[in-house]
């Protein structure tokens, strides 16, 4: 699995993808793999009241990647609650972020693996 952001012909990048680019309405035509990139923590929270199928406490971060001068944000679990705004993090693959079927959403409706964020020490 790769950590794909999506780019339209006008250079706008989004994560996740959209059928039409939210900036300009063009179709997104390229993918940009963020797996080997690092990002900066914009903000984070540790949630103790987690929904069914999610381990508590659940630390979540919003991070920002810089890809050739364009920025793209992503959100996801952090591997630790020892993080701060401004920290540098890298994506780490997890084959199951949340137990499929434990929550309200139909298990087959989406994928359950993805990337957590780990501080770069």
Partner 1 sequence: MDVAVIGASMTQFGKREGWIRDLLAEAGEACLSDAGVAPTDVDHLYVSNMASGEFEGQTGVPNMLAHDLGAMPAYTARIDQTSSSGGAGIYHAWQSVASGTSEMTMLVGGEKMTHRSTAESTDIIASITHPVEYKHGLTLPSFAGLTARLYLDKYDAPRESLAKVAVKNHKNGVDNPHAQFRKEVDLETVMESPLVADPLRLYDFCPITDGSAALMFCPEEVAKEYTDEYVVVSGVGGATDTHVVHERDDPTVMGGVVESGKQAYEMSGYGPEDIDVAELHDMFTILEFLQSEGLGFFEPGEGWKAVEEGVTERDGDLPVNTSGGLKSKGHPLGASGVAQGYEIYKQLMGEAGARQVEADVGLCCNVGGFGNCVITTIMEARQ
Between 2 and 45, name the residue whose CB sits nearer to partner 1.
Answer: 45
Using CB under 8 A as the binding rule, whether residue 9 contacts partner 1 is answered as no
Using CB under 8 A as the binding rule, whether residue 107 contacts partner 1 is answered as no
Query: Of these, 5, 21, 28, 58, which contacts partner 1 (CB under 8 A)?
Result: 58
Using CB under 8 A as the binding rule, whether residue 2 contacts partner 1 is answered as no
**3-state DSSP of the chain:** CCCEEEECCCCCEECCCCCCCCCCCCCCCEEEECCCCCEEEEEEEEECCCCCCCCCCEEEEEEEEEECCEEEEEEEEECCCCCCCCCEEEEEEECCCCCCCCCCCCHHHCCCCEEEEEECC
Could you give phi then psi for residue 63, rounded to 5 degrees? Answer: -125, 160
Query: Of these, 2, 46, 80, 88, which contacts partner 1 (CB under 8 A)?
Result: 46
Using CB under 8 A as the binding rule, whether residue 104 contacts partner 1 is answered as yes
Question: Scanning residues 75 to 94, which ones bind partner 1 (CB under 8 A)?
Answer: 75-77, 81, 85
- Under the rule (CB under 8 A), what is the footprint of partner 1? 14-16, 22, 42-55, 58, 60, 62, 73-77, 81, 85, 97-98, 103-105, 109-112, 114
């Amino acid at each position: 699995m790769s950590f794909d952001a999506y780019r339209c012909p006008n250079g706008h990048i989004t994560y996740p993808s959209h059928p039409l680019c939210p900036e300009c309405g063009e179709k997104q035509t390229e993918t940009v793999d963020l797996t080997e990139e690092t990002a900066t923590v914009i903000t984070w929270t540790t949630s103790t009241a987690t929904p069914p199928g999610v381990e508590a406490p659940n630390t979540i971060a919003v991070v920002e990647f810089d890809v050739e001068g364009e920025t793209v944000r992503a959100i996801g679990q952090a591997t630790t609650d020892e993080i701060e705004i401004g920290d540098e993090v890298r994506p780490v693959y997890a084959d199951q972020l949340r137990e499929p079927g434990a929550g309200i959403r139909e298990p087959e409706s989406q994928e359950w693996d993805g990337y957590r964020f780990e501080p770069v020490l």
